């Protein structure tokens, strides 16, 4: 569904716009309503089921008619959606200007066409992931602005949606979760088929999506909104991008660089032929990373915890922009209801010494959508005192025991280290609970 202005070309300038949504699974409703007021008195109305083009009606009536239809819809159960960028007067920085400024920040002030191309690819894959995850309803333009059928989504909406998702994912299927789901979809519109029937919201998180997909969707939205905010700042402040847009500084490694060769060798030495995708992945570009925000803290943690190992961390390409912006994130053990499928050893940052195991997350094999753009991080991770399961079968008490028991020296464990064949896993798994234990050193880009 495109903006209403797309099919009222030639009319006066848009001076006001209201977006409303009605999500009521008891009535199998997931409807939008959009009203525009133009300076010549024209009122444009557009309505239908979320995900459809809907119907459009253009009439005269001025401010009174515009405000009247909005009030009537609110009385009928519609709520106003919190959006930004709804007026034609909103300025946006040219994407080329933003890209130059963002590239300069990533490089610490140097112009680099390779990194400019990287930003293009990351924004593009972010757009693809948002479109796919939302059924085509959420997109992002080249300036990073996230848009839905109801307008440009705000950072506040994303924060509110994340709080709702935390609660939803910690609840069992039922009416209470259904009510929260309806609130969530008023903030992050997504298509629900008519065939879902009445009462679909109670099981929406299980039947139509998952907590993991929605959490990753919100991460992508947040990263894109940060990029859009920088776009606005660029427009408002003559080319200056907020200094904290990216946490990491990035340097392109030349194939002749000793680190380039070392990382390639590490990849080849640790991939497993049993993972079919490793046979087609080809490393093509490599980037050295420097943490501009928490580098000193990570270095101090490594000196204190010790036992630093080079481990791989795979993630979907759509998450890379977010990671470069704010780093890795672990939902807290308490106070968050998000339970991500596949986290068999509890909350934490998952890594592996097996390159192809981690690459499975990057290509989408272990969950999430398939991606033609493949990225993987090689880290230097302080494992410290490792809890090592000894039994071959999975034991659900492992996460609790690793967090609460002491090692032979009487000190707490800092990580879980699971060798192949132990703890119910076929491939090596490592888990740490403190993001400051993980130093993201290199980003590897592959051709799939």
Decide which of 80, 105, 140 is a domain's last residue: 80
- Residues 280 and 415 both lie in one domain: yes
Q: Is residue 337 part of a domain?
A: yes
Question: CA 326, CA 303: separation in Å to the nearest integer?
Answer: 23
Q: Is residue 281 part of a domain?
A: yes
**Other Cβ atoms within 10 Å of 313 Cβ, number:** 21
Kindly list the distances between the CA atom of residue 133 and the CA atoms of 21, 57, 162, 215, in Å, as whole numbers in the listed order. Answer: 20, 30, 16, 11
Q: Is residue 27 part of a domain?
A: yes
Distance of CA 284 to the CA centre of its chain: 24
Domain that holds residue 256: 248-447
Q: Residues 31, 50: contact at Cβ < 8 Å? A: yes
Strand 83-84 and strand 151-153: the pairing is antiparallel
Burial of 201 (0-12, 13-18, 19+ CB in 10 A): buried
Place of tokens 């085509």: 136
Q: Is residue 323 part of a domain?
A: yes
Decide which of 57, 80, 103 is a domain's last residue: 80
- Residues 271 and 377 both lie in one domain: yes
Q: Please tell me whether residue 398 adopts helix, strand or coil conformation.
A: helix
- Residues 262 and 138 both lie in one domain: no
- Residues 178 and 270 both lie in one domain: no
- Residues 76 and 113 both lie in one domain: no
Each residue's pLDDT tens digit, 183-213: 999 888 888 889 999 999 999 999 888 887 7
Q: Please tell me whether residue 107 adopts helix, strand or coil conformation.
A: helix
- Residues 217 and 274 both lie in one domain: no
Each residue's pLDDT tens digit, 136-181: 556 655 444 555 554 556 778 888 999 999 999 889 999 999 999 9
- Residues 334 and 432 both lie in one domain: yes
- Residues 305 and 179 both lie in one domain: no
At residue 116, the pLDDT reads: 84
Q: Is residue 255 part of a domain?
A: yes
Torsion angle of alpha carbons 313, 314, 320, 325, nearest 10°?
-20
- Residues 192 and 164 both lie in one domain: yes
- List, for the chain, all residue ranges whose pLDDT scores fall below the cut of 50: 1-9, 85-92, 142-144, 150, 332-342, 368-369
Question: CA 63, CA 41: separation in Å to the nearest integer?
Answer: 7
Question: CA 245, CA 227: separation in Å to the nearest integer?
Answer: 7
Decide which of 219, 244, 269 is a domain's last residue: 244
**Residue 149 maps to which CATH number?**
1.20.142
- Residues 181 and 220 both lie in one domain: yes
Domain count, the chain: 3
- Residues 224 and 253 both lie in one domain: no
At residue 131, the pLDDT reads: 65
Q: Is residue 85 part of a domain?
A: no
Spatial CB neighbours of 378, under 8 Å, sequence gap ≥ 6:
263, 266, 267, 310, 311, 312, 313, 441, 442, 444
At residue 4, the pLDDT reads: 39
- Residues 45 and 157 both lie in one domain: no
């Amino acid at each position: 569904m495109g903006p209403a202005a797309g099919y009222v070309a030639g009319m006066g300038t848009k001076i006001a716009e209201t977006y409303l949504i009605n999500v009521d699974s008891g009535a199998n409703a997931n409807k939008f309503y959009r009203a525009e007021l133009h300076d010549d008195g024209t009122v444009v109305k557009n309505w239908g089921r979320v995900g459809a083009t809907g119907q459009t009606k253009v009439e005269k009536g001025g401010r009174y008619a515009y405000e009247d239809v909005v009030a009537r819809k609110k009385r009928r159960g519609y709520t106003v959606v919190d959006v930004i960028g709804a007026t034609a007067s909103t300025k946006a920085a040219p994407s080329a200007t933003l890209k130059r400024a963002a590239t300069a920040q990533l490089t610490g002030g140097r112009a680099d066409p390779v990194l400019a191309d990287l930003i293009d690819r990351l924004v593009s894959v972010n757009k693809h992931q948002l479109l796919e995850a939302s059924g085509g309803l959420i997109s992002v333009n080249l300036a990073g602005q996230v848009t839905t059928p109801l307008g440009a989504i705000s950072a506040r909406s994303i924060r509110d949606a994340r709080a709702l998702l935390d609660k939803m994912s910690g609840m069992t299927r039922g009416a209470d979760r259904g009510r929260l789901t309806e609130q969530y979809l008023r903030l992050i519109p997504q298509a629900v088929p008519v065939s879902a029937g009445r009462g679909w919201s109670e099981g929406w998180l299980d039947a139509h999506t998952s907590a993991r997909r929605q959490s990753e969707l919100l991460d992508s939205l947040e990263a894109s909104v940060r990029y859009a905010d920088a776009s606005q700042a660029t427009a408002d402040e003559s080319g200056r991008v907020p200094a904290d847009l990216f946490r990491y500084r990035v340097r392109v490694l030349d194939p002749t660089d000793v680190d380039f060769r070392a990382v390639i060798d590490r990849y080849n030495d640790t991939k497993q032929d049993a993972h079919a995708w490793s046979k087609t992945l080809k490393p093509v570009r490599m980037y050295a990373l420097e943490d501009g925000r928490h580098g000193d803290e990570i270095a101090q943690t490594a000196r204190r915890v010790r036992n630093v190992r080079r481990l791989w961390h795979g993630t979907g390409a759509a998450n890379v922009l977010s990671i470069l912006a704010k780093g890795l994130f672990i939902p807290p053990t308490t106070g968050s209801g998000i339970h991500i499928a596949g986290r068999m050893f509890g909350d934490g940052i998952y890594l592996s010494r097996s390159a192809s195991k981690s690459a499975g997350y990057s290509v989408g094999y272990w969950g999430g959508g398939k991606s033609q753009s493949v990225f993987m991080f090689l880290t230097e991770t302080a494992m410290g005192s490792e809890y090592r399961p000894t039994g071959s079968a999975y034991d659900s008490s492992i996460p609790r025991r690793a967090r609460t028991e002491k090692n032979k020296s009487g000190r707490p464990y800092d990580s879980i280290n699971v060798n192949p064949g132990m703890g119910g896993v076929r491939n090596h798994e490592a888990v740490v609970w403190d993001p400051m234990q993980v130093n993201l050193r290199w980003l590897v880009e592959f051709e799939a």
